[in-house]
Amino acid sequence: MRNMIILISGVVVLTMLFCVAPLSAVAAGEKTGVIVVDMQGDFTTWKKGTLAVNGADEAYVKKVADATALLKEKGFVLYGTQDWHPRNHISFASNHPGNKPFEAIQVNGKTQVLWPDHCVQGTDGAKVLLDNNIFQAIVKKGQDPRFDSYSGFQDDGGSKTEMDTILKAAGMKKLVVYGLATDYCVMATAIDAAADGYKVVVIEGLCRGVAPDTTVKALEAMKAKGITILKEIDMKRINDL
């Protein structure tokens, strides 16, 4: 009988050591993912991209690469988005004779900003500039010629990408979001992430915007949705969220 009790207590103590400890570790730090948005040549001045965003130069991309490596070191799981358009994509001004890039037109009752041809599937300009091996997944978007897709979660036609499924399956609760461009794909991705229930932090200093006025508005719109905007990476602020 006594031996039995000792045996059972031993089992209980071991169970507590192996089960309770990892449980508390999970509770202490919610799983955090990083979404690096559209870090592609066509959006950079560095690679003389067709839709180069102001300030997206070589130094900027290096800064993003270093910050991303640091976050990986800290144990965050990295995800990327990749704008990946067919040549006949609705957002290309070249597919709307009579219209020019950066004009906004009405298509099927929706406002569509027209862009220079960019991130065409399989072209150099569409390549993600960071080492692709650091990412758990790179989610492609904007593949349907009929719909634009600034968000990494869904396109303007309402079709979801695999992003939310991947993040939920991996147990992600918080997301750190940055990349190109603040006023389009970063904003849309961050807002959809918040709507899907993640705590979201956008790192302003790791983003660049297409235009100053829309960038200011984008930061305000994200704040209004409860998204935290940090100038630079601040581990304490991210962990405390």
Question: Which residues make up the interface to Zn ion (CB under 5 A)?
Answer: 83
Residue 128 Cβ, how far from ligand VGL at the closest point, in Å? Answer: 12
92 binds, among ligand VGL, Zn ion, none (CB under 5 to 8 A by kind): none
- Annotated catalytic residue 234: no
Q: Say whether residue 42 binds ligand VGL (CB under 6 A).
A: no
Cα 10 from chain centroid (whole Å): 47
Q: What's the token pair of residue 72? A: 């990986």
**Shortest Cβ 147–Zn ion spacing (Å):** 11
Among 32, 35, 38, 154, binds ligand VGL (CB under 6 A): 38
Q: Does 184 bind ligand VGL (CB under 6 A)?
A: yes
Letter string b/e over residues 54-91, b meaning 16 or more CB atoms within 10 A of that residue's CB: eebbeebbeebbebbeebeeeebbbbbbbbbbeeebbb
Q: Which is nearer to ligand VGL, 79 or 115 (CB)?
A: 115
Distance of alpha carbon 38 from alpha carbon 235, whole angstroms: 23
Q: Say whether 141 is catalytic.
A: yes
Q: Which of 60, 79, 84, 115 binds ligand VGL (CB under 6 A)?
A: 115
How many residues interact with ligand VGL (rule CB under 6 A)? 10
Cα–Cα dist 134/192, whole Å: 24
- The three-class DSSP label of residue 92 is strand
CA of 133: how far to CAs of 69, 79, 80, 145, in Å? 11, 11, 11, 28
Look up 185 and say whether it is catalytic: yes
Active site residues: 38, 141, 185
Footprint of ligand VGL on this chain (CB under 6 A)? 38, 43, 83, 91, 115, 150, 180-181, 184-185
